[in-house]
């Protein structure tokens, strides 16, 4: 097993040595840029409040000054590369789910054509990963982060409200089962296709704290590493508490027996640019484009391109 892991690490090392979210040692040396091209989401996590606009000034996931339009992607990336040194990775991390927005795939095509040297990265809840892993590999995406918060539907049903799949909204345990099945299937297929997988897990003390280690055990042969991030209590979880530093440390140490842990995550916005620690946004660029005034994204905007 250890031998397998070492082989896997070696196979991926040309990418992981330059990706700040797959390699703690360089997280403060190499930059990344998130393109906020994917506003819609196909599940409803109880902790997630997606917002756009100037007053959405918090540095946390699900927030962007505005949605970046396809016609602006090239200009924006040129500006980022000119103004911010050492950006090597371009990622799509929302503000919704990358795989539920056709703009993600169109953006990846633009990047391939205009910026072929940037490493392409996406993050997703994984519901559609078994449908799109091949397309991602064909588009030369190298790294995929999948958020897995529970692999037991009894636990996941308390973390998500519903899952939109096969043109229907599935509530409770039924939705949880669909999500878990698709995530695990998608992760295995993406791994076989040569994609490098990181697992994000939101640590929610009252709900999944003692279960997170089961996620690490289940996915140890397919994921490269795990990124356990503390709950930011929001939306339908605003009454819950964030984990203490001690709790985060303990859970990471338990999980590390099965999967290497990433401990430098900045819980970035969907429009962050530069070094993780800088928490930078190119405000000038978005100011021009920013027509959405402090808009909360509609969680029921479920138009999907393949329907």
Ligand X SMILES: C[S@@+](CC[C@H](N)C(=O)[O-])C[C@H]1O[C@@H](n2cnc3c(N)ncnc32)[C@H](O)[C@@H]1O
Residues making contact with ligand X (CB under 6 A): 41, 47-48, 61-62, 93-94, 97, 123-125, 147, 200, 202, 229, 231-232, 234
Task: For ligand SF4, give the closer residue by CB, 32 or 280.
Answer: 32
Tell me the site size for ligand SF4, rule CB under 6 A: 20
Residues 116-175 that bind ligand SF4 (CB under 6 A): 125
Q: Is the peptide bond before 158 cis (omega within 30 degrees of 0)?
A: no
Residue 52 CA to residue 166 CA, distance in Å, equals: 28
Task: Choose the one of ligand SF4, ligand X, none that binds residue 51, judging by a C-beta under 5 to 8 angstroms depending on kind.
Answer: none
8 A C-beta contact, residue 87 and residue 80:
yes
218 makes contact with ligand SF4 (CB under 6 A): no
Q: How far is the CB of 235 from ligand SF4 (least distance, A)?
A: 9
Q: How far is the CB of 161 from ligand SF4 (least distance, A)?
A: 9
Q: Angle at CA 184, nearest 5°, toward 234 and 8? A: 105
Task: For ligand X, give the closer residue by CB, 41 or 190.
Answer: 41
Q: Is 99 left (phi over 0), alpha (psi -120 to 50) or beta?
A: alpha
Report in angstroms the alpha-carbon separations of 108 from 88, 111, 124, 167, 307: 15, 5, 15, 26, 21
Only segment of 8-16, 42-50, 69-77, 132-140 that touches ligand SF4 (CB under 6 A): 42-50
Residues 246-285 that bind ligand SF4 (CB under 6 A): 265-268, 276
Residue 234 CA to residue 220 CA, distance in Å, equals: 30
Nearest to 62 by CA among 38, 42, 80: 38
Q: How far is the CB of 37 from ligand X (least distance, A)?
A: 12
Residue ranges that bind ligand SF4, judged by CB under 6 A: 21, 32, 41, 43-45, 48, 50, 62, 93-94, 96-97, 125, 227, 265-268, 276
């Amino acid at each position: 097993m250890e031998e397998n892991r070492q082989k896997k690490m070696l196979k991926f090392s040309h990418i992981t040595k330059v990706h700040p979210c797959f390699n703690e040692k360089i997280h403060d040396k190499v930059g990344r840029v998130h393109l906020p091209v994917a506003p819609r989401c196909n599940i409803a996590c109880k902790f997630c409040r997606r917002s756009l606009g100037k007053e959405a000034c918090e540095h946390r996931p699900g927030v962007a000054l505005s949605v970046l339009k396809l016609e602006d992607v090239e200009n924006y990336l040129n500006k980022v590369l000119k103004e911010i040194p050492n950006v090597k990775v371009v990622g799509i991390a929302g503000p919704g789910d990358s795989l539920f927005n056709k703009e993600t795939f169109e953006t990846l095509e633009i990047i391939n054509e205009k910026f072929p040297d940037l490493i392409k990265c996406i993050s997703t809840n994984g519901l559609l990963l078994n449908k799109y892993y091949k397309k991602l590999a064909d588009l030369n995406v190298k790294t995929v982060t999948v958020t897995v918060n529970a692999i037991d539907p009894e636990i996941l049903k308390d973390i998500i409200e519903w899952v939109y799949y096969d043109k229907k909204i599935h509530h409770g345990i039924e939705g949880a089962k669909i999500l878990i099945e698709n995530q695990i299937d998608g992760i295995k297929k993406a791994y076989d296709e040569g994609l490098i997988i990181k697992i994000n897990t939101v640590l929610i003390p009252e709900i999944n704290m003692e279960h997170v280690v089961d996620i690490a055990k289940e996915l140890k042969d397919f994921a490269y590493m795990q990124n356990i991030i503390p709950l930011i209590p929001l939306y339908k979880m605003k009454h819950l508490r964030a984990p203490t530093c001690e709790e985060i440390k303990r859970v990471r140490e338990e999980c590390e027996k099965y999967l290497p842990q990433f401990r430098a995550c900045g819980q970035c916005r969907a429009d962050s640019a530069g070094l993780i620690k800088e928490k930078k946004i190119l405000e000038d660029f978005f100011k021009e484009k920013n027509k959405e005034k402090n808009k909360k994204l509609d969680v029921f905007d479920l138009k999907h391109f393949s329907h």
